[in-house]
Amino acid sequence: MGVEPVEDLRGSLAFTTLTDVLQFLHTTGRTGELWVEGGPEQHAAQVFFERGTVYHAQEGTFTGIDALMEIISWVEGTFIFSTDKMTPTVTIEVSLPSALVEAARRLDEHRRNLKDRDRAQEPQRLLGAFADASGVLAAILMTRDGSPLASANPSEAVNMAALRGDLAALIETVDGLGEAQGCLPFGGFFIEYDRFQLLCLPVANAILVVVAPGHAQLGVVRHKTQQLADALAKVLPE
C-alpha cells in the first residue's frame, strides 16, 4: 500500500519568487512534488525533487528546462510542496543551479525574440492605424529602391507595386538633381494631382509615402504625416 503524499509547504508568489522556492527545496534536500498554479493564464506546473535534486519539470507541453523557463517568470500564483511523491520521469539531468541558469538564459533569449518581433511589426501597425484614422488612400514605407517594408491600402484605390517602382525612379532622379547642385539627399517632396496628393518623406533609411485624396487639406495631411514619420523613426534602424 502506497504512502499518502503529505503537504509540507505552501505559499504565494506575491511574497516570494519561484526561483527562491526551488532553491530552498534544493538546499534543504526535500523529496516530493512542487505544484504551482500561476502565470498570466493561470497554468499549472509540477517540479519533482529527490533529496534536493531536481529531476523533472512540466508545464503544459513543456518539460525539463523549457518548463522551468516558462514558470520562473511567473510573478503571481500559488505553490504547494507535497512530500513522498516520486519523480515519474527524468527530464533534467543537471544540478538545479545549472538548470536555473540555463532556464534564465533561454527566458532572456525568448524575451529578446519577442521584442524583436514586436519591433519588426510596429511599422505595419503604425501605418495601419494611421490609414484608418486619417482617411488617406494609402500609406507606404519602402526602401529607396522601391522594396516594400510596410503598407496600408484600405480602399485598394492605389496600385502599390506600380507606385513604389515609379517613386523609386523619381527619388533617384530628385537625389541626382540635388547632388548636381551640391545638395544633401532630398528632405521630402509633395505632388498634387486631380485625384490625389502624394507626400514623400525620408525616415531613417526608408521612404514614407502617403497618398491622400485630392480634396484633402494639405496642411492637415503634412502635419499627420510628420507625426507618423516621427513615430516610425523611433522604431526603424538607422
- The domain that holds 190 is classified in CATH as 3.30.450.30
Residue 182 lies in a domain: yes
- 204 sits in the region (left: phi over 0; alpha: psi -120 to 50; else beta) called left
Residue 58 and residue 131 in one domain: no
Residue 142 and residue 229 in one domain: yes
Residue 112 lies in a domain: no
Residue 154's pLDDT band (boundaries 50, 70, 90)?
low
The bridge status of strand 138-142 relative to strand 196-203 is unpaired
Residue 15 and residue 86 in one domain: yes
Residue 103 lies in a domain: no
Q: Specify the pLDDT at position 106.
A: 94
Residue 100 lies in a domain: no
> What is the pTM for the complete model shown?
0.64
User: Half-sphere exposure of residue 31, counting CA atoms within 13 Å on the CB side?
Assistant: 8
Tally the domains of the chain.
Answer: 2
Residue 99 lies in a domain: no
Residue 144 and residue 224 in one domain: yes
Residue 145 lies in a domain: yes
Residue 212 and residue 175 in one domain: yes
Q: Which pLDDT tens digit goes with each residue over 72-130?
A: 999 999 999 998 788 899 999 999 999 999 999 999 999 999 888 888 889 999 998 88
- Domain-ending residue, one of 26, 58, 93: 93
- E strands present in 13-127: 32-38, 43-50, 53-59, 62-63, 77-83
Domain residue limits at 199: 117-233
Residue 12 lies in a domain: yes
Residue 111 lies in a domain: no
Residue 81 and residue 153 in one domain: no
Residue 71 and residue 145 in one domain: no
Residue 132 and residue 211 in one domain: yes
User: Across all residues in the chain, what is the average pLDDT?
Assistant: 88
What is the pLDDT averaged over residues 215-225?
Answer: 82
Residue 163 clears pLDDT 80, i.e. is over it: yes
- C-alpha 187, offset from chain centre: 31
Q: Specify the pLDDT at position 238.
A: 67
Residue 164 and residue 226 in one domain: yes
Q: In what order do the strands lie in the sheet with 206-213?
A: 148-152, 138-142, 206-213, 196-203, 189-192
Q: Specify the pLDDT at position 1.
A: 38
Beta bridge pairs of residue 198: 191, 211
Residue 127 and residue 218 in one domain: yes
Q: Specify the pLDDT at position 7.
A: 58
Residue 129 and residue 219 in one domain: yes
Residue 136 and residue 81 in one domain: no
Rounded Cα–Cα distance for residues 174 and 188 (Å): 10
